Amino acid sequence: MTRGNISSRERKVAWRLTRLVLIGAFAIGALAVRDIVRGLPDGDDPTFVATTTEPPVSSTDGSGPDDSSPPETTEPTTTTTWEPARSFTLVATGELLVHEYVADRAADYGGVGTWDFRPMFRLVRPILAGADVALCHLETPLSADNSDLAYYPGFRVPFELADAIADAGWDGCSVASNHSLDAGTTGVASTLDHLGRAGVATTGMAVDAADDRPATFEVDGISIAHLSYTDLMNGGSLPTQPEWLVPWVDAGEILADAAATRAAGAEFVVLSLHWGPEYETEPTDRQSELVDTLLASPDVDLLLGHGTHVPQPVIERDGKYAAIGLGNFLSNQPGDERRMCSECPAATQDGLIAWFAVGDLPDGSVGVVDAAYVPTWVHRSSTYEVVPLGIDEPTGVDPAVLDESARRTAAVVEPVLRRLTIDAFG
């Protein structure tokens, strides 16, 4: 995907992380191929397995008829390797929830009459820009011209956030959420307009039926589709009228959309669902049942969840993954003296960057071959920077606070996801 210029330091961090993911991906992929090859009946060579046979080698030195010793002949050797195939990396992040204090800090960065959110993503930019596809979840509608800004409980936030999203390296955003209609249909239009202007693909809201379609990407010849739905709507009911305004979580509708997307040529289909009760780590029965139903479909490859504002578990089913809740990525939770959130646990300050290596599989399909994550934490007391824990931590923050945040997230998403750190390179 096309990205803005990044510094040499950012390139170094991005390349190190990419190498780490790819090393794990190829190792796991090779093991998967080995297992598949062992289980294949004779004559069934998988598409991406190459078999090379070395002929027998005789030990005779050819010195002539006086050499009476019989030659020793080695057995033929056969080597099976996994040939390189198409692949890409995908990262996904949690809620971008711009509370008033977050916007105030962006105003400080931007100067008079402007809001600059870009410094808040400075530390995570190398990770996002280093992936082939980066997906965000924008929960708060964007104002058309910043003349009507509003925050909790009904949001219309500075439109410069769209520029920061693009600058940070995100390629697309899911936008279906409980706040999608906070600013009515004009908020839908302005959100889509500003993200489109910034070059960020969107899915999950539409201003007319013709725009009700998935976001699509292509990397290394692999066609990727992203669809977005919400199970919640503040101050309204679902489905919306018209239904394409904000897609809602209905298993039958989602599966039909995924099947149509696959039929249209998508080789890897990603779903983003805004769902679940706020501040609850454990999935509800409804979430668990939907995970089972959706991942069982041959038309769904990856599920990303949002909405609870805290990380939730990651589920793996036959090589498919459901990150049920990615937590907050940028917000003011758990609150401050201006707007306290007594019900917000400490985990509302935690989040993660989920990282997936995806590629051609030996059976001819496209799927996840490795899954990892970087825990994140919002530096609310100062810069509102999103901190990638273990990758680029700021000075002046108690290390025990950062360690505790990382432990909270690890307890929820590991061992299904493995943690990425710079320390892995020594």
Tell me whether residue 42 is in a domain.
no
d(CA 137, CA 95): 5
Tell me whether residue 34 is in a domain.
no
Identify the residue with better confidence: 120 or 335: 120
Give the contacts of 252 (CB within 8 A, at least 6 positions apart).
none
Q: What is the mean pLDDT of the chain?
A: 86
Give the model confidence (pLDDT) of 102-129 as tens digits: 999 999 999 889 999 999 999 999 999 9
Three-class DSSP labels, the chain: CCCCCCCHHHHHHHHHHHHHHHHHHHHHHHHHHHHHHHHCCCCCCCCCEEEEEECCCECCCCCCCCCCCCCCECCCEEEEEECCCCEEEEEEEEEECCCHHHHHHHHHHHCCCCCCCHHHHCCCHHHHHHCCEEEEEECCCECCCCCCCECCCCCEECCHHHHHHHHHCCCEEECCCCCCCCCHHHHHHHHHHHHHHCCCEEECCCCCHHHCCCEEEEECCEEEEEEEEECCCCCCCCCCCCHHHCCECCHHHHHHHHHHHHHCCCCEEEEEEECCCCCCCCCCHHHHHHHHHHHCCCCCCEEEEECCCCECCEEEECCEEEECCEEEEECCCCECCCCECCCCCHHHHEEEEEEEEEEECCCCCEEEEEEEEEEEEECCCCCCCEEECCCCCCCCCCHHHHHHHHHHHHHHHCCCCEECCHHHHC
Tell me whether residue 322 is in a domain.
yes
Tell me whether residue 50 is in a domain.
no
Tell me whether residue 47 is in a domain.
no
78 — pLDDT class (breaks 50, 70, 90): low
Count CB neighbours of 154 within 10 A.
16
d(CA 336, CA 330): 15
Lowest mean pLDDT among 4-18, 101-115, 181-195: 4-18
Tell me whether residue 1 is in a domain.
no
**What's the CATH number where 217 sits?**
3.60.21.10
Give the model confidence (pLDDT) of 316-332 as tens digits: 999 999 999 999 999 99
Tell me whether residue 2 is in a domain.
no
Stretch 183-204: mean pLDDT: 97
Count CB neighbours of 236 within 10 A.
13
Give the contacts of 9 (CB within 8 A, at least 6 positions apart).
126
pLDDT over 90 at 256, yes or no: yes
> What's the number of domains the chain is made of?
1
Please give the model's pTM, rounded to 2 decimal places.
0.84
Count CB neighbours of 346 within 10 A.
13
User: Domain containing 212: what range?
Assistant: 8-23+84-425
Tell me whether residue 31 is in a domain.
no
Count CB neighbours of 134 within 10 A.
27
Give the model confidence (pLDDT) of 142-179 as tens digits: 999 999 999 989 999 999 999 999 999 999 999 999 99
pLDDT over 90 at 45, yes or no: no
d(CA 272, CA 177): 10
Q: Could you tell me the two tokens for 237?
A: 């009911």
Give the model confidence (pLDDT) of 372-426 as tens digits: 999 999 999 889 999 999 999 998 899 999 999 999 999 999 999 999 987 643 3
